[in-house]
Structure 1
Amino acid sequence: MDNVKRKPGRPPSQHSRQAIFVAAMKLLKEQGLRKMTIDKVAEQAGVSKATIYRWWNDKVQMSMDAFLYHVQLEGIIEDKGNFVDDCADWFGKLNQFYASEEGHILAQIIIESQSAQELLLPFQNTLHDLLLSKCRVIWDRAAARGEVDDQIPADPVIELLYSPSSARMLSSKPPLDDNANLEMIRIIYNGIKKP
């Protein structure tokens, strides 16, 4: 994350950085964030602990960067021909992601970094901006088709669309299934469609 201050000294090479990310994600999947150690990451990445600490202050900060490096929530925003089907496809993929190993790692990172808001907020903002940009593709496409009321601002609608999926990811409830996902999207669409 670019807004986190680095320690003085020569930064690790790009090769070392990638090796650290690969090792960190492997250990996050095998052991979880609580059990993973900087020692183990250094050993598996073939770097020294000093190399890791030159770039990151702790394993949570390192895990955030490893997650953002490995997991791209971009996906393909397929054109299904209408707003409801576009949303159902994208949010179906998002719900599958939240139920995956990577989704569980994301939840661990957010939970374990609650006491380090200076790290958590930029991380969450990066994910938020990525989701917002993908949802805006769907919105702009629907606006171009004349499906949505152009007097309604896009951002609040986008927040409504992806908040249920994100809330489920941080709760004990399972991700929305396809039917529940589609029902929510239809309810929202009924409130924003062009008269």
Structure 2
Amino acid sequence: MALRSESSRKSVLQATIDLLGETPPGPVSLQKLSIERIARQAGVSKMTIYRWWPNKAALVIDSFIENHIAQTPLSKEGRAVDALRAHLVSLTKVYAGPEGRLVAQLLGECQFEPATLDAFKEHFWRGRQEAVAELIERAKAEGDLREDVPSNTIADLLYAPIYFRLLLQTGELDVDSTLTHVEAVLRGIARQGS
């Protein structure tokens, strides 16, 4: 029974991503996506979906996380600043595609639904924030970043332009512009003499 349940859960997560994706059966906007449609696509009942998720937003967030974490790793190998660069490049590549449009829709939804914002922070943002802070602290310990700049400020400096371009579409969301920005930030927060 547990194997069957896990199989159904994975089918629901995949159906959600498929419906929100760019190729058929998608694209369906987050606003037009329904639990009924997800259930039909996954071949399960609505009750099966509600057994695992309290609402559509929670399901979409879990679907997003399932795909996102694997595509945007935070390496524990090598120098921490190199791991930060690689992570930000992978994030840019992912956000330049359909997943970026999904994140933009989710963040838009969060502005009107406090429960959705809380779920997004709880299930996605806080975990990533902690992992990035750990990486930044490691870069400080390795002597590459200034110790007097708080880790959350460094993270804001590195991530804000990606989310700004994603949400406001003020410029290309590409690897070259991301690396240009990352290098400028890293030079500004590099430990003196590094």
TM-score range, shorter chain: 0.7 to 0.9
Aligned AA (2:31):
R
Taking structure 2 as the reference length, what is the TM-score of the superposition?
0.77
> Which residue is equivalent to 2:42?
45
- Determine whether 1:16 maps to 2:14: no
> Which residue is equivalent to 1:25?
17
| C-alpha spacing 1:176/1:99, structure 2 compared with 1 (3 Å) | closer
- Determine whether 1:92 maps to 2:89: yes
Alignment size in residue pairs: 183
Distance 2:146 2:43 in 1: 56
- Determine whether 1:120 maps to 2:112: no
CA-CA distance at 1:134 after TM superposition: 4.0
Of 88-97 and 53-62, the range deviating more from structure 2:
53-62
More contact order relative to length (CA 8 Å, sep ≥ 6):
1
> Which residue is equivalent to 2:75?
77
| C-alpha spacing 1:184/1:74, structure 2 compared with 1 (3 Å) | closer
State whether residues 13 and 63 of structure 2, in contact with CA within 8 Å, keep that contact through their aligned partners in structure 1: yes
> For 2:132, which of 127, 132, 135 is the aligned residue?
135
CA RMSD of aligned residues (A): 2.8
Aligned AA (1:31):
P
State whether residues 107 and 169 of structure 1, in contact with CA within 8 Å, keep that contact through their aligned partners in structure 2: yes
> Which residue is equivalent to 1:9?
none
Taking structure 1 as the reference length, what is the TM-score of the superposition?
0.76
Runs of 4+ that moved beyond 4 A:
78-82
Q: Which SS does the other structure have where 2:118 is aligned?
A: helix
State whether residues 149 and 194 of structure 1, in contact with CA within 8 Å, keep that contact through their aligned partners in structure 2: yes
CA-CA distance at 1:76 after TM superposition: 4.6
> Which residue is equivalent to 2:57?
60
Aligned AA (1:142):
A
Of 152-161 and 138-147, the range deviating more from structure 2:
138-147
Percent of paired sites with the same residue = 29
- Determine whether 1:153 maps to 2:150: yes
In structure 1, runs of 5+ residues without a counterpart are 1-11
State whether residues 78 and 89 of structure 1, in contact with CA within 8 Å, keep that contact through their aligned partners in structure 2: no
In structure 2, runs of 5+ residues without a counterpart are none
CA-CA distance at 1:41 after TM superposition: 1.5
